[in-house]
């Protein structure tokens, strides 16, 4: 698998449940994020041969690849309109890439696993129905490590960096803010921690020195507003994989919006 150029790595917000495919209040709540996701393909300059995606909705004792050739969908959201449980997204898997991911992790001394029957969770198919609506790019999903340790996920990303030179787009799919208890309370005392953490996170991602960037991200819990924005870190950790795979490539913010008063951002490493 040889690419004509090194692909960037991405951290994308995937929204809430099947948010792009249902009516919301206000009606334009997710519109800016939807437009951002729809624009990713054109922004890359070339279509990747495959996507390796880490979602905030899959955790395993060791990082585990979905080696299914034709993954079904996991409708792992609850209480939404009936039609959102009939969405389709027939993107193929790519077992050969799944095997290669395990090889790269093994070379870095990282134990891994394989799952031959899991479907795509909504952190995959909901945003990618907008990114690649024709479902014509193979996707391999990689789980989080159950430790939920940022440094471990940075290490995983570093191990996977060679994929960028082989036409594989590495994507972390999560949310830069993920406190469901406070998300829908639009008031300054709930919104200010999101503002503070987003400013810190943007500064950390755009830190030009790779070692300093990783040091900051590994200690994200010490940032202002961090624990209010992420009482549990699973939706932030996909960013760490994307950052680890970035190597010396500088990060920059590609998406930013206030959603229900909470600042939400997406990031890219490399051009």
User: Is position 3 within any domain?
Assistant: no
User: Is position 100 within any domain?
Assistant: yes
Contact residues for 206 (Cβ-Cβ < 8 A; gap 6+): 250, 251, 252, 253
Q: CATH number, domain at 135?
A: 3.40.830.10
The pLDDT tens digits of the residues spanning 62-109 come to 999 999 999 999 999 999 999 999 999 999 999 999 999 999 999 999
User: Is position 121 within any domain?
Assistant: yes
Buried b (16+ CB within 10 A) or exposed e, 27-47: eebbeebbebbbebbeebeee
User: Is position 1 within any domain?
Assistant: no
Distance (Å, whole) CA 11 – CA 198: 14
User: Is position 4 within any domain?
Assistant: no
Report residue 46's pLDDT band, with 50, 70 and 90 as the boundaries: very high
Q: Which structural domain range is residue 259 located in?
A: 9-269
1 pLDDT exceeds 80?
Answer: no
User: Is position 90 within any domain?
Assistant: yes
Report residue 233's pLDDT band, with 50, 70 and 90 as the boundaries: very high
User: Is position 191 within any domain?
Assistant: yes
Q: How many domains is the chain built from? A: 1
**Average pLDDT, integer, range 158-183:** 97
User: Is position 63 within any domain?
Assistant: yes
Report residue 227's pLDDT band, with 50, 70 and 90 as the boundaries: very high
């Amino acid at each position: 698998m040889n690419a004509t150029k090194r692909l960037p790595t991405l951290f994308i917000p995937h929204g809430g449940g099947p948010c792009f495919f249902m009516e919301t209040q206000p009606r334009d709540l997710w519109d800016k994020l939807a437009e951002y996701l729809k624009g990713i393909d054109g922004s890359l300059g070339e279509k990747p041969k495959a996507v390796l995606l880490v979602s905030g909705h899959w955790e395993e004792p060791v990082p585990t690849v979905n080696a299914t050739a034709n993954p079904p969908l996991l409708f792992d959201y609850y209480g939404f309109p009936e039609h959102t449980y009939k969405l389709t997204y027939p993107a193929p898997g790519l077992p050969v890439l799944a095997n290669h991911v395990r090889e790269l992790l093994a070379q870095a001394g990282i134990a891994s696993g394989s799952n031959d029957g899991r479907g795509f969770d909504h952190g995959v198919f909901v945003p990618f129905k907008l990114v690649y609506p024709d479902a014509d790019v193979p996707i391999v999903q990689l789980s989080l490590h159950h430790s939920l340790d940022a440094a471990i996920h940075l290490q995983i990303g570093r191990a996977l960096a060679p994929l960028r030179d082989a036409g594989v787009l590495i994507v972390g799919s999560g949310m830069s803010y993920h406190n469901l208890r406070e998300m829908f309370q639009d008031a300054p005392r709930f919104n200010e921690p999101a503002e503070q953490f987003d400013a810190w996170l943007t500064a950390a991602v755009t830190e030009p020195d790779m070692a300093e960037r990783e040091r900051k991200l590994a200690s994200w819990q010490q940032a202002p507003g961090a624990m209010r924005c992420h009482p549990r870190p699973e939706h932030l950790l996909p960013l760490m994989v994307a950052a680890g795979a970035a190597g010396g490539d500088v990060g920059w913010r590609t998406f930013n919006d206030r959603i229900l008063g909470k600042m939400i951002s997406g990031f890219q490493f490399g051009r």
